[in-house]
Amino acid sequence: MEIRESKSGSLVILELHGRLDGSTSGTLEKYFLELLNKGEKYFVFDFEQLDYISSAGLRILLLAAKKTKGTGGKIALSSLKEHVKEVFDIAGFTAIFTICSTCADAVALLNQ
């Protein structure tokens, strides 16, 4: 998995490329926690290039949501492919996360 980071105002946009699974979830966890420790509080996870997510990937996103909420921040997810969205639906995560159809929509929503 590759992580590409960009900024839009106070938002950090994390583009995830490839697979988010047991072998790559630790990389995302470390990357995210470093950003949180630097004081970042607003995140968009752009899944446009994410091909697969496992339960280990879902666990990291849940951790990110809990940690971000604890700082008064917010998370939005964007551009979920249909088969990735199905995993979120089955796990009940669509009720937990704000999910937008595009990264631009997620950025606009969190910048309100």
Spatial contact of 44 and 12, defined as CB atoms under 8 Å apart: yes
Q: For residue 98, what are the domain limits?
A: 2-110
Q: Mark 39-68 as b/e (b = at least 16 C-beta within 10 Å).
A: ebbbbbbbbeebeebeebbbebbeebbebb
- Identify the pLDDT of residue 100: 97
- Identify the pLDDT of residue 112: 82
For the chain, how many structural domains are there in total?
Answer: 1
Given a cut of 90, whether residue 25 has pLDDT beyond it is yes
- Identify the pLDDT of residue 51: 96
For residue 51, the domain's CATH number is 3.30.750.24
Given a cut of 90, whether residue 33 has pLDDT beyond it is yes
Given a cut of 90, whether residue 92 has pLDDT beyond it is yes
What's the pLDDT tens digit per position in 48-80?
Answer: 999 999 999 999 999 999 999 999 999 999 999
Beta-carbon count within 10 A of 86 CB: 12
